[in-house]
A and B are shown apart, each in its own frame.
Chain A
Amino acid sequence: DTGVSQNPRHKITKRGQNVTFRCDPISEHNRLYWYRQTLGQGPEFLTYFQNEAQLEKSRLLSDRFSAERPKGSFSTLEIQRTEQGDSAMYLCASSLWQGGETQYFGPGTRLLVL
């Protein structure tokens, strides 16, 4: 399967702990997106990269959140000092930007903060 992969698929942590998620995009895709989805809502944009440059961050992305895409390939999303309100599904998507794009989504990482 050459789709978008995300690890781990599930994460349970205690409030105050740090967590890190990884996303491996479809190879040759130059854009990588992070979204968050809570129950009963559609995905909400967090941030995105074009190659290794982080081009946009949502106001949802507080200073406890940081994302990297160091070599323009995989990306990590870290949440520091987790809060119960961070419990959600974290989705990654990738695309090949050529003046237009279609985003392909991974299976997500479900985070539960106790």
Chain B
Amino acid sequence: AQSVSQHNHHVILSEAASLELGCNYSYGGTVNLFWYVQYPGQHLQLLLKYFSGDPLVKGIKGFEAEFIKSKFSFNLRKPSVQWSDTAEYFCAVNRGSQGNLIFGKGTKLSVKP
């Protein structure tokens, strides 16, 4: 069965530190990849997505992610985090016409001011 692994459960950073959140998936076929973010008290919002083309995708608020097919990975990065980035981040994957998303367990990011 497909699965998505997010390696870090809770990450604590100081402002201006660089961020990288890991995401690996288990499916070997064509996949679509997503990062969603959930700010405290808010609903899930799309941060960025990859369908095809350039494996380096840029999203909102300075986030980017790189799809590495050989490693089945889609890691999220941001060069300099802000306190307002404190949130929970979810990696998700679906494949082809099967729309249902498979989510990782999420990584909680706490940014200290």
Contacts and interface: CB of A to CB of B under 8 A. Distances in A.
A105 B44 CA distance: 6
B105 A104 contact: no
Contacts of A31: 99
Interface residues on B, range: 20 to 34
A76 B90 CA distance: 26
Contact of B100 (A40, A41, A42, A48): A48
A100 interface: yes
A66 B51 CA distance: 32
Contact of A42 (B49, B99, B103): B103
A102 B94 CA distance: 10
Interface of A: 31, 33, 35, 40-45, 48, 56, 58, 91, 93, 95, 97, 100-108
Contacts of A33: 99-101
B103 A44 contact: yes
A93 B99 CA distance: 11
Interface string B67-106: 0000000000000000000000010100000111111111
